[in-house]
Amino acid sequence: MKTITSLSLAFAFFSCFGFAQDSDLATKVGPEKGSLVIVGGGGRNDELFEKFIELAGETDALLVVVPTANGSENFEDRPWSARRLRKLGANNVTVLHTRDPATANSDAFLEPLKNAQGVWFGGGRQWRLVDAYAGTKAEEMFWDVLKRGGVIGGSSAGATIQGSYLARGDTTGNQIMMGDHEEGFSYLKNVAIDQHVLARNRHFDMLQILKSRPELLGISIDENTALIVTGDTFEVLGESYVIVYDGNFWSREGWNKKVLPESSDRFYFLRDGDRYDLANRKVLTN
């Protein structure tokens, strides 16, 4: 009994001084290690790709581009995003593509991922990434990139795949918000991500998902704009806006005199430099 009491006191002491158990320190939404670059499509903004290179460890880091969301069968070394990264100074870019889960489990295919510091998912249809990689060793090794402090990035389909709920995941067309594929790779947990939002007038579309799945946080990103995620915080980077659907409202000019819709129909805009707490679902103002 005396030994148990002593251990309990020791645990309380270390907890009070910040030595809590690892589970207390774990992130709730974002990755515990590494970073995410989640781009809403477009492609005009070099700053977003440069940030990806920086987070991977600068220009000599091994970067892997996964263009599988696109409908092409054979990419070899030609995907647009790979060429863009090389143009911006990345010296070590490898293209990795298959549509066959068996191939995604093979040692030869997985070799480039062993030391990769960055993985970039290209645009197209996000369900193709699920069909090729979900549940394979390749998907495990994408996670390993984050675990060793690297970066996962992607644009358009490569943005949506990073959420836990796969918006526009239907194989019959991208106008269907809740389709036959509903699970993403979950680099952000309990989050649905949409893209091209203002460029394509999609700002009401997320509400369909949230009325069926109200526990989710909805995030819609416009073109040439990105979320830079570290732990449970994201910062907006780019020339346009990110829309947040968290049931609350926020505005720089205040909102106590505004007439707002019901919480289930609310959304608000964040711009370059704005920061957001994913765990507590609130804008960070300092």
pTM: 0.90
**Residues 221-275: tens digit of each pLDDT:** 999 999 999 999 999 999 999 999 999 999 999 999 999 999 999 999 999 999 9
**Residues 138-158: tens digit of each pLDDT:** 999 999 999 999 999 999 999
Does 12 fall in a domain? no
Least confident piece of the model among 20-24, 41-45, 91-95, 128-132:
20-24
Does 273 fall in a domain? yes
- CATH number for the domain harbouring residue 139: 3.40.50.880
Pairing between β-strand 275-277 and β-strand 233-238 as defined by DSSP bridges: antiparallel
What is the spatial distance between Cα 185 and Cα 163, in angstroms, rounded to a whole number?
6
Round the CA-based radius of gyration of the chain to a whole number and report it.
20
Name the band, by pLDDT with cuts 50, 70 and 90, for residue 71.
confident
Does 1 fall in a domain? no
Does 22 fall in a domain? no
Q: Are 251 and 268 in contact (CB under 8 A)?
A: yes
CB atoms within 10 A of CB 28: 11
Domain range enclosing 113 = 29-284
Does 23 fall in a domain? no
Name the band, by pLDDT with cuts 50, 70 and 90, for residue 77.
low
Mean pLDDT calculated for residue range 65-71: 94
Does 96 fall in a domain? yes
What is the spatial distance between Cα 130 and Cα 96, in angstroms, rounded to a whole number?
15
Number of domains observed in the structure of the chain: 1
**Residues 101-127: tens digit of each pLDDT:** 999 999 999 999 999 999 999 999 999
Does 103 fall in a domain? yes
Does 24 fall in a domain? no
